[in-house]
Amino acid sequence: MLNTFIDTIRGRINRPLQYYEDICVRCGACIDACHFYQASKDPAHIPAYRMALVKKITQSEQGPLANWYDDGWKPGGFSDQELERAIWECTGCRRCAVFCPFNLDTGLLVSAGRYSLLKQGIGPEMIAEIGDAEISKGEIIDAIKEFYVEQAQELAKRLQEEWAPGIQIPVEKKGAEALYVPLVGEHALVPAAKIFYAAGLDWTMSLFTATNHSFFVGDMAKAKEAAHWIVQEARSLGVKTIIYPECGHATRTLLSYFPSWFGDEIAGIERISIVKLVDQYLTEGRIRVKPAMFDTPLTYHDPCNVGRNAGMFEEPRRLLRAVATDFREMTPNRALNWCCGGGGGLIAATEMTDVRMEGGRPKVDQIKQTGARWVTTTCENCKTQLGDLNTHYELGVEIKGVINLIADALILDH
């Protein structure tokens, strides 16, 4: 029985979600919008079906196994596996909301459903465990701080020898203009450090990372707790700006959730994605790049959280056109772009690999149609998923970050 799931999700059904459940008329406009359904043809992947399924579960007075499908949607009994597929085999990309005539947000349902299923013990617990680790890092940061400082100093020394003698990677610099919150690994730090140096930005590196896996599992209390370490750090250092890296879900939390989570605590602190910041730098002439540096045919994948959910469509395209001669659009693109199939935390769940590869087939078809040799994007999860798709489907392409290309094309004036 799913009593824990039912009790938990009933407590998560707020007014917007109740509205979504009540107003869905099952018109079918969302069916062809879901990349998972396009690949699998499994009814559990239909966004409206997810909505109807949870509604029947939560509103049933006879228990979770009583006549859920008596309205013709699907004959037969219910299984925990079907509910798990409906809730977990979804990236929360919100493409279905674009096609829905009522703008119903299935992602809100999926967030509540994942949290509730995990309370029942169903779903990839590893994602939640990573989220817990992101919270606990703040509790032990003083013990590991020295390690981060040493690593930053070693990396800066290498960049000074290989790239520019004056480049630095400051850590815990009080009074710096900006706090850059990186991802794990120097691949997300080096391009940013180069660009900040070229732009003359007074910055400091965060001791934390931008990722927030609690957000993936719908645990908003823990998601806020993990993000609060970054807010406290920004305030203690006195920075004016928090900069987030090429990371879709992190960018979404920064731009969409920080105001409601922290209110006056972040008053006076600007929040910006590095994608938008670098576009501003280039437009203002604060950085210069070598035009036409790359002549390889390339295309751009719009990450769902950077594009559809944060509205950054033109910024990455301006950056690419500034350094590339053969930019090819995918079709469809921008708000209608197909999800790559790796979002929603699925990258972190090894048991979801086959699901990700199947769900990525519409994206694979898009890539093939462009004839591009490089696939660029502005999200870490997308880069990983696109790399996995590249290997699985033998596409023969290379995956590139937009910010990396800008860093490689920089013209230094000092």
Say which CATH number the domain at 223 has.
3.40.50
- Please say if the pLDDT value at position 135 is more than 70: yes
Q: How many CB atoms lie within 10 A of CB 259?
A: 12
Q: Model pTM?
A: 0.93
| Residue 247, C-beta contacts closer than 8 angstroms, at least 6 positions apart | 183, 210, 211, 379, 380, 381
CB of 145 closer than 8 Å to CB of 152: no
Instruction: Tell me what the mean pLDDT of segment 136-153 comes to.
Output: 93
Measured CA to CA, the distance from residue 258 to residue 271 in angstroms comes to: 9
Same domain, 356 and 251: no
Q: What percent of the chain has pLDDT over 90?
A: 82
Number of independent structural domains in the chain: 3
What is the three-class DSSP state of 122? Answer: coil
Structure tokens, 165? 């003698």
Which of 401, 410, 133 minimizes the C-alpha distance to 273? Answer: 401
- Please say if the pLDDT value at position 71 is more than 90: no
CATH code for the domain in which residue 23 is found: 1.10.1060
H or E segment to which residue 177 belongs:
none
Same domain, 140 and 261: yes
Last residue of a domain, one of 284, 316, 343: 284
- Report the Cα 313 to chain-centroid distance in Å: 15
Q: How much is the mean pLDDT over the chain?
A: 92
CB of 191 closer than 8 Å to CB of 245: no
CB of 180 closer than 8 Å to CB of 204: yes
Same domain, 319 and 244: no
Same domain, 406 and 317: yes
Same domain, 386 and 301: yes
- 332 prior amide bond cis, ω within 30: yes
Where in the sequence is the domain holding 55, given as residue range(s)?
A: 3-123
- pLDDT at 79 (0 to 100): 73
Query: pLDDT (tens digit, 9 = 90+) per residue, 172-199?
Result: 999 999 999 999 989 989 999 999 999 9
Measured CA to CA, the distance from residue 140 to residue 128 in angstroms comes to: 19
Measured CA to CA, the distance from residue 358 to residue 356 in angstroms comes to: 5
CB of 343 closer than 8 Å to CB of 307: no
- Please say if the pLDDT value at position 68 is more than 70: no
| Residue 265, C-beta contacts closer than 8 angstroms, at least 6 positions apart | 231, 235
Instruction: Tell me what the mean pLDDT of segment 308-337 comes to.
Output: 97
What is the three-class DSSP state of 411? Answer: strand
* pLDDT band, residue 58 (cuts 50/70/90): confident
Structure tokens, 260? 């409601």
- pLDDT at 60 (0 to 100): 64
- Report the Cα 285 to chain-centroid distance in Å: 29
Q: Specify the length of the chain in residues.
A: 414
- The Cβ-side half-sphere exposure at 55, using a 13 Å CA radius, reads 19
Measured CA to CA, the distance from residue 59 to residue 297 in angstroms comes to: 53
Same domain, 132 and 263: yes
